[in-house]
Amino acid sequence: MTVRILLAMLRPQHWRDENMAGRAIWEAGAPLSRYSQVAIILHWAIALLILFNLFTGLLHDSVPRAVFAFHVSSGITVLILSVVRIFWRLTHRPPPYPSDMPNWERGLAHLVHFCLYASMLLLPLSGWAMISANPPAGSPGAAYADSIKAPKPPAAAAALPDANKPAAPPSAKRRGPPMFWNLVKLPLIKPLQDIGRTPEGVAAQKEKHEQIETFHGLGGYVMLALLFLHIVGALKHQFIDRQREFARMGIGRPGRVG
């Protein structure tokens, strides 16, 4: 159902219906309406969380670990709120675009919105899949993965009697599921996790993990580009076209500027 809604946003008939509705409002002299209060709250909540995730994700080597720890929780929250936003969009028609908005610009706006919605679903899902693509804690696969990562003792230490050997570093302990906002454990995607349950599946799971990680990283740059287009479009409508674009999302009063 979610996919059908996203595809419907790209249909020319959808643009014509919206154009007719917008023309009726403008010809009647009524001010341009805004999104519903729920849609506005969802929009800004999702926007802030996406900015946080882009910042912590693209700069993960520079941000403090305590800050990056909330990257997963923020991403899953984006996923949940995006699903709510899409179903809210099902039952609440958004305000129409101005009647004098060119068709090419209207089509571009729908395309960017479609890609934004798709990214708001796919990026968190790929992040969720990435943290799931690890051997389950306590499994033979986790023990094997830890053993091949454990550093080998130097040759000089190996020649010492057992009593004089330095203590071997403990193997990296596999953590369980991450915490969702430090409240509940986030369930992992079991089919992906089970690939590495045995030593034989660790290599295949590692390859899968790297593929998902690449997709997730590239998706962050795609999201950044889409946000740039979205913001530039809003600024253009507000300050060049003299339309109260910001008012559609709760900033200022509806109507035409000037």
Q: Are 134 and 196 in contact (CB under 8 A)?
A: yes
- Residue 78's SS3 state is helix
pLDDT at 31: 44
Is the per-residue pLDDT at 170 higher than 50?
Answer: no
pLDDT at 149: 79
Write out the two tokens for 117: 């919605």
The identity of residue 76, as a single letter, is I
- pLDDT digit string (tens) for 51-99? 999 999 999 999 999 999 999 999 999 999 999 999 999 899 888 888 8
Q: In 10 A of CB 19, how many CB atoms?
A: 18
pLDDT at 169: 39
Question: In this predicted model, which residue has the larger pLDDT, 156 or 27?
Answer: 156
- pLDDT digit string (tens) for 105-123? 999 999 999 999 999 999 9
Is the per-residue pLDDT at 256 higher than 60?
Answer: no
Q: Which of 20-24, 65-69, 165-169 comes out lowest in average pLDDT?
A: 165-169
CATH 1.20.950.20, applies to 2-138+176-249: yes
Q: Give strand pairing partners of 185.
A: 179
pLDDT at 166: 43
Q: What are 231-238's contacts with CB under 8 Å, separation 24+?
A: 233/108, 233/109, 233/112
